[in-house]
Amino acid sequence: MRIVVLDGYTMNPGDLSWQPLYDLGECTIYDRSTAEQVVERAAGAQIVLTNKTPISARHLDELEGLQYIGMLSTGYDVVDVHAAARKNIPVTNVPGYATDSVAQMVLAHLLHFTQHAAHHSQGVRRGEWSARSDFCYWDLPLVELRGMTFGVVGLGRIGSRVADLARTLGMRVLAHTLSGKSTVPEGVELTDLETLLRESDVVSLHCKLSEKSRELIDAKRLALMKDSALLINTSRGPLVQEQALADALNEGRLAGAGMDVMSREPPAPDNPLLTAKNCLITPHISWATTAARQRLLQGVAENIRRFLQSDPVHVVNA
């Protein structure tokens, strides 16, 4: 069985062992591949693995002998899953591997704006504490979260975990789900999106990207939020209309935004959020803890193993 990994570097830049895949067959691993290189590199492979390298219907027409496509991720929008289904090629993903890691990043963005730890540490290094007459100082407001309202948009694994963490911090939690999910975590209030945006002090996005959710947070919906509110997005960049968000931040109509994802990645140098006020941007790393990537690698290998046993799991195009 020949296995080709089209773009393995992001998941494993060298700190993990690829042995779980080598144990399953002849394995060729490329750090990165362009769309133009897919056919050449995957030719003759029965199993192809991808993270962000696109696999189109045209690629599938040219890859004779391909039996299986595995995602090195949860998302699978880079693969034409319908074309794969027509050819009886299962496409699998790995759900749930980064739930705790992404939820942790939400808290990192939230605490950045409420505790200002890095800001005050930098002030200490500049000598600002040493020059004070008092035993302590702060030059930005310090915010206690207990009693404030946290809005979660999307109640999948990650959204539900974030809701649990917000409740642990003593926050009231509102939730809205685009999928119509009726089961909600204990203590979470299900509501419509407009109410959630109006009442929340913090809004965290945890939606799948679809035509329904694309630019879900636009100028009209940003206008519903409190001037003192924070927006956090660790889900998908295109959920947010970026120019509208930059305008709201620059005009003081929103207190801050924490973004781990952008509409284009890497972002264009002229992306308005790169220079917007009070916008903390991390480079799509919420999923990338060592523990999460190890679980992802093990999940990819287990998906292949189950396929080889004629008992496939996590098939997204069945």
The DSSP annotation for 232-256 comes to: EE-S-GGGB-HHHHHHHHHTTSSSE
Residues 6+ apart with CB under 8 A from 228: 201, 255
Phi-psi category of residue 187: left, alpha or beta, with phi > 0 → left and psi -120 to 50 → alpha: left
Given the residues 59, 172, 221, 236, the one annotated as active site: 236
Given the residues 214, 284, 305, 306, the one annotated as active site: 284
265 is catalytic: yes
Residues 6+ apart with CB under 8 A from 180: none
Cα–Cα distance list, 10 to 79, 217, 226, 254, 285 (Å): 18, 28, 37, 33, 10
Gyration radius (Cα) of the chain, Å: 22
d(CA 300, CA 311): 14
On whether the CB atoms of residues 259 and 280 are closer than 8 A, the answer is yes
Given the residues 128, 194, 251, 265, the one annotated as active site: 265
Paired residues of 173 in beta bridges:
150, 188
236 is catalytic: yes
User: What is the side-by-side order of every strand in the sheet holding 26-29?
Assistant: 26-29, 2-5, 47-50, 68-71, 91-92
DSSP 308: H
On whether the CB atoms of residues 47 and 3 are closer than 8 A, the answer is yes
Residues 6+ apart with CB under 8 A from 2: 25, 26, 27, 28, 44, 45, 46, 47
Residue 11 identity (one-letter amino acid): M
176 is catalytic: no
Among 97, 96, 77, CA closest to 317: 77
Supply φ then ψ for residue 79, to 5 degrees: -110, 135
Catalytic residue numbers, as ranges: 236, 265, 284
